[in-house]
Structures are given as C-alpha cells and as structure tokens.
Structure 1
Amino acid sequence: MQPSDLRIALFSGNYNYVRDGANQALNRLVDYLLRQGAQVRVYSPTVPDPAFKATGTLVSVPSVAIPGRPEYRVPIALTARVRRDLAEFAPNIVHISSPDIVAHRAVSWARRRNVTAIASIHTRFETYLAYYHLEILEPFVRAIMRRLYRRCDAIVAPAESTAAVLRAQRMNRDISIWTRGVDREQFHPGRRDMEWRRSIGIDDDALVVSFLGRLVMEKGLDQFADAIDTLAERKVKYCVLVIGDGPAREWFEQRLPDANFIGQQIGPDLARSLASCDVLLNPSITEAFGNVTLEAMACGLPVVAADATGATNLVRDGKTGILVDPFDADGFADALEAYARDPQLRARHGKAGLSFARTMDWDAINSAVVRTYQRVIEKRARLARRTRRS
C-alpha cells in the first residue's frame, strides 16, 4: 500500500474552532497526508468564526456547547447526512482523535464494515476531573475510554511516557508513537527582542517566567501561582509573562496581580513573546505531549515542568530543564530560583534544549502515522483473508 492509496476519515472534537496544540497537530498531519497524495475527509463540530482556517475538507458534525465552557463543543450524533457523506467517501481507515460520542459511533461504523480504525491520544482527559472535584468519576470515565480504544486496531500516543500509562490502563495492545514536531522557522532564539520586553515594562535583569497556554485550571494555574508566591518571598527579582487567554483569566489575574497578561498571541508575535522570556514554567499534568514545552526549547529556553506525562519525554532533568513533583510548589520555586541565581546554568540548559528541538522535524514525525495506517490496514486485511480461508 502506498500513501496515495489511503482514504482517511478523521474525526475530531475540535479541528479548528478553538486553537490548541492538539488541533494544530491534526491540521499539520492532514497537510502532510495531502502532500503524499492521500485523500482525507475531516468530521468535526464547526462554528461561524473559527480560530483558524481548516486544512483539507471539513464536514460539520452536530454538536452542543459544554455547560460552563461554551467555547468548546461536544459532537453528539453521526446523523444520516454525515453517514451518507462517510459512505460516499468510502474510507479505508477511520482515525478518531477524541473519546466523544461521535468517535464511538465512528468506530462502530468501521467495525460493521470491517474498516480499520485507530485512535490518537492528545490529552489525558481523565486527569481533568480532579480540577473540577469529580475524581469519583475517574474509574467510570476510564472504563468508557477503554471500551472505545480496545475496539480500535491501534492507538498512537505522542510520547513513550503516555504510551506506558495507556498500557498500564489496558487501553490497547497495539500502541505506537506519533510524537510532535515544532515549527523551527517560527520558534527560534533569534525571535528574542529586548526592546519589546522593555516596552512592556520588564527590566533587563529580571528573570522572566513564562506561562504559555490556554488559561484553564487544568493547566496547573494554582501550582504556578503558588510557586510564584514562594519565589517572591525569597526576594528573587522576577517578572511573570502570561501568554494566552481563557475562562480562568480573571482568576489568574487576581492571583498574580503584578504579572504581565498579553492575551493570546499567534505567529511571529507568539514566537517573539516566548523567546523574550528566560524560562518556561509548565506545571500541567493533563498533557499527553507538551507542545508549549517543545516550543520553548526551540526558542532556547530552559523548562521547569511537572514530572508527568507530556514533559518527561521532552525535558531531561538537569540537562534541558528541571522536573518537579507536580504538587510541590516549593520545588517549582527552587528550580526557578536556581535559574535566577545562575545565568550560566540557564544558558546551558537552554542550549541543550535547543539542540533537542532541532531534531523534531514535522514531516519525519508525521510519516510515522502513515506507516501505522499502512501496517494496521494490512494487518486487518490479513486477518480477513484467514477468516475467509477458515
């Protein structure tokens, strides 16, 4: 099977209506697939004014807004219209990227027709529950996810650390790696702009600690704020730069009244903002892959991160950054203070991280997904031939 033989039906809970690392990875994958001659059709909720233009052909799936988080939508049905479109497209592989209702229906559609199905993991959804005091539901949610993923022919995970968790949770026996790349034309140390820093009131000798991402509690905003409080108590000269927006922005602004909040940035403005910082603090434990961590490394920044999936595959503790127990605010502050007191350590770890980021080429990474598609399609075809012979 050649890449040009592939007909991929990709199901996403959020392909382009809110910008995040997961859907940007999916759009990059679709771009790569199209360049290889594959045919792709994307099924996802849509909105009148999406965050960015979708790559490829996008078919709208019925959805409803999530209560309390109206910016996100949940796909709710594989309607007759969508099923007709799917049947006419006649995919030879179904790819789901979020464990929602439509993903379950899509896998059922594939199973009834002996079409190969795979799932890609982008977020540790079950870990979100703790931030909303719903830990009691975690076993139930994990069981639903297990039922879905075990009906797939394979899973692709963004890092070995995430794959290890999935194996331990018995999600599937066939788990391979689809890691993430970084746009090195956009993110690089040359984007650093001291004049821009000064223009927003940051002194040259202050350690600029960056938060980059969507402002939601599950990104570890409470741990970030606690670490900064501890750093302030130690009389370290620092400044916090918050890059991003979201429903928890008001809460975060109240917790960090002296921080610089510059909102969501894109393109060169995002790269300039990040490269003009001195260290990224990423306390999140919900990531399957830390896209922002890799972007910071590509800008030459050391990273202080939670010792959890999403970071352990990127940050080499004591080499490219510092890993900290996820609930140890003092430990995060210790790491930040070490970088503030020792600029040479900061530079050394930043340089090592930059060297690693230069190896993360998107096309080489996305080719692994094509190989997985080809392998599982051929595997299902072999099983079908054996069944017919028996």
Structure 2
Amino acid sequence: MRILIPTDAWTPQINGVVRALSTTIAHLRDMGHEVLPIGPDRFRTVPAPSYPEVRLALFPGREIGRIMDGFRPHAVHIPVEGPIGLAARRQCLKRGWPFTTSFHTRFGDYFAQNLHISAAVPYAFQRWFHNAGSGFMVQTDTLARELAARGFRNIKRWNRAVDTELFQPLGDRDFLNLPRPIFINVGRVSAEKNLEAFLKLDLPGSKVVVGDGPQLSTYRARYPDVHFLGYRTGPDLARYFEAADVFVFPSRFETLGLVSLESLACGTPVAAFPVPGPLDVIGNNPVGVLCEDLRAAALKCLEIDRATCRSYALTFSWRKCTKEFLDNLAPIH
C-alpha cells in the first residue's frame, strides 16, 4: 500500500506522538508498504504560541493537494488537528477520499483545568475534525468509552507498544553518580504535564528531570534541588530510565503515556495518579503504584521487582500495533 500521513507533529519535535508515528512508519516500511509523511519541515512555518520548538505550517493546502495527486495514496491517515491536518482533511473531502484520524491530546481537559475555558469548545472542534473521517483511532478502552460518550464516532482501537530493543536494561545504573533513591521524570517541561506535582514532592535521594520545554528556566530557578538534564534520545535516554529507581509520572491528561512503557522496558517501576493513561498501562499489574498521594506511590515503588517491570513491557508489541493500524485504515477505491 501507499500510505500518506500528513502530520503537524513530526521531527525534529520530540514527543510521544512523533515517537508513535515514526515507529509505526518504520514497521510499515519493514512490512513492504510505501509511507510518505508530510510534516511542517516542507513548509514555511511560525512558532506555536508558548511552544517555539513546535512549528506551525503556513498555508499548506495547495502543496498538500499537489503531493496527494502525485503520490496517489491507497490510504490517508491524519493524526493531528493542526494546519497540516486541517488542510489534508479539506483536500480529502474535496476529492471524496475516505481517511482516518487518531486522538493524541486532551485539549478539552487541559483548557478546563489550566485556562478555565469550558472543555465543550475544544471537544466540539475535535469532534468536528474527527467525525468527518471513516475511522477514529484511540489507544485505550477507557479513552474509547469516554470519547464515545462525548459524541465521537467510528472509533477503532490502535494500541501502543515500546521498542524493547532500544529501551532495555544495559547494566549501567550508577553513571549519574547521585544519591539514591533516584526519582525521574522524562518528558516536556511544560505546565500541561503537571510537572510541579513531582517537583514539589518531599522525597529522599535525588529528583531528576530529563526533557526541555517552555517552563524549564522557571522550574530550574524555582526548584534548585532538582537535577534538570535537558533532552536525551535513543540509547542515551534508555540509560537515564535504567539509572532511576522510580519513574514519577504526574500528568493527569494523557491519552496513554508512552514514556511509562519505556520506563518499564528499562526495568524502572512507575508512580502515577489513578487517571486514564496510567490506569490503562499499569492497572493492577505489579509494575507500578497508582495513588492520589503521589509521594506515597513513589516510595512504594521502591519495593517493586525490576525484572517484573521488564517482563511486563515485553508483552507490548509494535508489530501487533502496526497491524492494528493497517486494519483500521480506510482504503481509497
């Protein structure tokens, strides 16, 4: 198949959406499919408000139409509701092509919690965007039920997995040379990740944050006892996961939380709030602790066997997830 993926979330951005898409594309190509991503790098861009590292394409519609006509895809998947996603959606509707979309961001919950704007408005926009397609892929059963109750249609499951060859115990747990226990968070350093819930915790040992984002300088000044180590990727990132004793995941608005699986693959248990995302990844499995008392959860995780975390992560297969993605696509006849 020739599969076109117009996406506002693409390299060099570093986030869970990009990792999920790039890994899926790699597996699709290994299966013999031809995949063409269309990212912001093809267009003139401007920085997103408050997130200068995220670039927004300017007037991509005509170029996307030209690419569609030249590539002649057998299927189109549009994952993000940005300028590229809106333009691709419009071009598909114009041509009478079916297309699929996927859910990656809880804009409604974030707006309500942090901006005090009714969640109804962003959810109405997302519902309008996704319901025009022939399939709407979501990561978990919890999310599927929630979005169905909000009026989303044509919902299909597209699970997530973890690269267990990249993220694995490497036997180098002491390279950070910090007092133990080491509690780590990996991800965007920004307000919507609820990172301060972790930074404020009174924990023994050391607290480490791996990542970058708009709040980095603010948090670094506000929490001088925390070690902010910037972005890490690939095998280097896996070393940081393994070096930690506990991965603390304070976000309340995740669709899944791929970083939790990456941590488990490196043998590090997860402490999180009992909310969608962590509930779907961890649940009642003995690989983490979910509790509204995040400090208690983090300390309880110190008792968890690291080998159990690794074994659990091995059950999440990207090959299986990619097959689900393929089965969900809407062929263009």
TM-score by length of 1: 0.80
Return the match for 2:130 from 129, 146, 149: 149
Deviations 1:238-273 (Å, cap 9, x if unpaired)?
211111122211222233211222211122221111
Structure 1 residue 225 corresponds to structure 2 residue 205: no
Q: Pick from 72, 79, 83 the counterpart of residue 101 of structure 1.
A: 83
* Native 8 Å contact 1:150 1:171 kept in 2: yes
Instruction: Provide the residue aligned with 2:39 in structure 1.
Output: 44
Q: Tell me what 1:266 maps to.
A: 233
For residues 127 and 297 of structure 2, the distance between their equivalents in structure 1, rounded to whole angstroms, comes to: 37
- Go from structure 1 to structure 2 and tell me whether the alpha carbon gap of 1:333 and 1:65 turns closer, same or farther (over 3 Å shift): same
* Residue among 191, 208, 212 paired with 1:241: 208
CA distance in 2, matches of 1:299, 1:76: 40
Instruction: Calculate percent identity across the aligned residue pairs.
Output: 27
Consecutive unaligned residues of structure 1, counting only runs of 5 or more, are: 1-5, 47-59, 232-236, 326-330, 382-390
Q: 2:21 aligns with which of 13, 19, 26?
A: 26
Residue among 295, 299, 302 paired with 1:333: 295
Checking the alignment, whether the CA contact within 8 Å between 2:181 and 2:205 is kept in structure 1 is yes
Which of 307, 314, 319 lines up with 1:358 in the alignment? 314
Which SS does the other structure have where 2:176 is aligned?
helix
User: What amino acid is aligned across from residue 346 of structure 1 in structure 2?
Assistant: I
**Aligned residue identity for 1:221:** L
Q: Hey, what does 2:65 align to over in structure 1?
A: 83
The code of the aligned residue for 2:254 comes to E
- Which structure's relative contact order is higher, taking Cα pairs within 8 Å and 6+ residues apart? 2
Q: Deviations over 1:158-186 (max 9, x none)?
A: 222222222121121x2222222212122
User: Shift in Å at residue 137 of structure 1?
Assistant: 4.5
Residue number in structure 2 paired with 1:164: 145
CA 1:21 to 1:191, structure 2 compared with 1: closer, same or farther past 3 Å? farther
Asked whether the 8 Å contact 2:64–2:87 carries over to 1, the reply is no
SS class of match (1:210): strand
SS at match of 1:286: coil
Q: Which amino acid aligns with 2:147?
A: L
The offset of 1:312, in angstroms, is 1.2
Match of 2:48 among 58, 66, 74: 66
State the distance in 2 between where 1:77 and 1:159 align. Answer: 34
Asked if 2 retains the 8 angstrom alpha-carbon contact of 1:304 and 1:332, the reply is yes
Taking structure 2 as the reference length, what is the TM-score of the superposition?
0.93
**Structure 1: how far apart are the matches of 2:242 and 2:45?**
37
Please tell me whether residue 305 in structure 1 is matched to residue 272 in structure 2: yes
Give 3-state SS (helix, strand or coil) of 2:35's partner: strand
Q: Which residue of 1 aligns with 2:164?
A: 184
* 8 A contact 1:221–1:252 mirrored in 2: no
In 1, distance between residues paired with 2:45 and 2:192?
A: 23
Residue 191 of structure 1: how far off its partner (Å):
4.1
The answer to whether the 8 Å contact 2:107/2:123 transfers is no
Listed one character per residue, the Cα deviations across residues 33-75 of structure 1 (whole Å, up to 9, x for unaligned) are: 22222222222211xxxxxxxxxxxxx1443211232111223
**Alpha-carbon separation, structure 2, partners of 1:85 and 1:154:** 22
Amino acid at match of 2:143: T
* CA RMSD after TM alignment: 2.0
**Paired AA for residue 54 in structure 2:** Y
Runs of 4+ that moved beyond 3 A: none
Task: Quote the offset at 1:139 in angstroms.
Answer: 1.4
More helix by share: 1
Are 1:111 and 2:93 matched, yes or no?
yes
Label 1:285 to 1:31 Cα distance change in 2 as closer, same or farther (>3 A).
same
* Counterpart AA for 1:320: V
Q: Secondary structure at 1:183's aligned position in 2?
A: coil
Between the aligned partners of 2:91 and 2:214, the Cα distance in structure 1 is 36
Local SS of the residue matching 1:181: coil
Distance in 2 (CA, whole Å) between partners of 1:357 and 1:160 is: 19
Runs (5+) with no aligned partner, structure 2: none
